[in-house]
Homo-oligomer: A and B are copies of this chain.
Amino acid sequence: MRIVVLAGGIGGARFLVGVRAYAREVGAEVTAVVNVGDDASMHGLRICPDLDSVMYTLGNGADPERGWGRVGETWTVKGELAAYGAEPTWFGLGDKDIATHLVRSTMLTAGYPLSAVTEALCDRWQPGVRLLPASDDRLETHAVVQLDGEQKAIHFQEWWVRHRGELPTERFVFVGAESAKPAPGVLDALAAADVVLVAPSNPVVSIAPILAVPGLREAVAAASAPVIGFSPIIGGAPVRGMADKCLAIVGAECTAAGVGRLYGPDLLDGWLVDTTDEGADVPGVEVRAIPLWMTDERATAAMVGAAMELDLAASRPPAPKRGQP
């Protein structure tokens, strides 16, 4: 059995811990297609927050309390960079984390694509899941904002980490998306998948940038496998992060049904919402309410198990579509 997961950072990482547990039980292989829209260059280092959150979490190197970065992190380099007045000062790079960025940046400069770099980094972390960036090409989420009386496009990291998402924001753009290609292995994984899961990640700035890679949304929609999403909104609020702010910017309702409708029946076959949101309706999509709090690995694995039991007869033909356009 082959499971493909579309995932962002912290929520995606926690979800993948449960997917891996489920996969170990049933003997399945897991491929995670991870958002690169948050990736940024700072202090000459290429930083991939979502790939690293997933890698560190699955490799038991993440800080469980903070949710991002490395456990036992130290901050010597950050203090020194500040002493030099080196910009940006609003983004904290930990010492352990910097080593990852040094290895990545050195390999990228040497000409290796991000997918190969990610594979090399995973040699150390042994995440037990195949991690693929959505694209090897530069695709960065920028926010079009009002700042100092002007309309500007700033990087998502600046929008969120520096400005806490509180600037008047018109929209998000995925810079470089037009010419980006799916990373090697992504389309093959989708074509061969038995199920495609959309993690309970931010639909606007984690999942949308993945689907913005030309050909990737089409490959998900055309996959013979059912596509089942997990709501990141429970009881009208994001489980963590800033999905509420992002949904407002794209004009979507901050509810489990609102996110399901944003994805819509073109993408989804099934949509799992929390029991709190029982009755949520997404036209053309099979909706089921189950407990969606990822309190631990077991609870998250149970969510995945519930997805596998979803009766999709109503929304998807029972015969495999494999090979169809």
Residues of A within 8 A of B (CB): 43-45, 74, 76-77, 79-81, 83-86, 95-96, 98-100, 102-103, 105-106, 109, 121, 123-124
Contacts and interface: CB of A to CB of B under 8 A. Distances in A.
A95 B109 contact: no
Contacts of A43: 102-103, 106
Contacts of A95: 74, 76-77, 80, 95
10 closest residue pairs by CB, A with B: A80-B99, A76-B95, A44-B106, A43-B102, A77-B99, A84-B103, A74-B76, A81-B99, A44-B105, A86-B103
What does DSSP make chain A's interface, helix, strand, loop or mixed? helix
Contacts of A80: 95-96, 98-100
Given A76-B95, A95-B76, A84 B44 contact: no
Nearest to A44: B106
A40 to B, nearest CB: 13
A149 to B, nearest CB: 28
A43 B86 CA distance: 20
Interface centre among A80, A81, A103, A124 (most CB of B within 10 A): A80
Contacts of A76: 74, 76, 95-96, 99
A79 B98 CA distance: 11
A45 B98 CA distance: 12
Contacts of A84: 99-100, 103, 121, 124
Given A74-B74, A79-B99, A85-B124, 12 more contacts: A43-B102, A43-B106, A44-B44, A44-B102, A44-B106, A44-B109, A76-B99, A77-B98, A80-B99, A81-B103, A83-B124, A84-B121
A70 to B, nearest CB: 9
A95 B106 CA distance: 17
Contacts of A45: 102
Contacts of A99: 76-77, 79-81, 83-84, 86
Nearest to A109: B44
A316 to B, nearest CB: 43
Contacts of A109: 44
Given A76-B74, A95-B76, A96-B80, A102 B124 contact: no
Contact of A106 (B77, B83, B86): B86
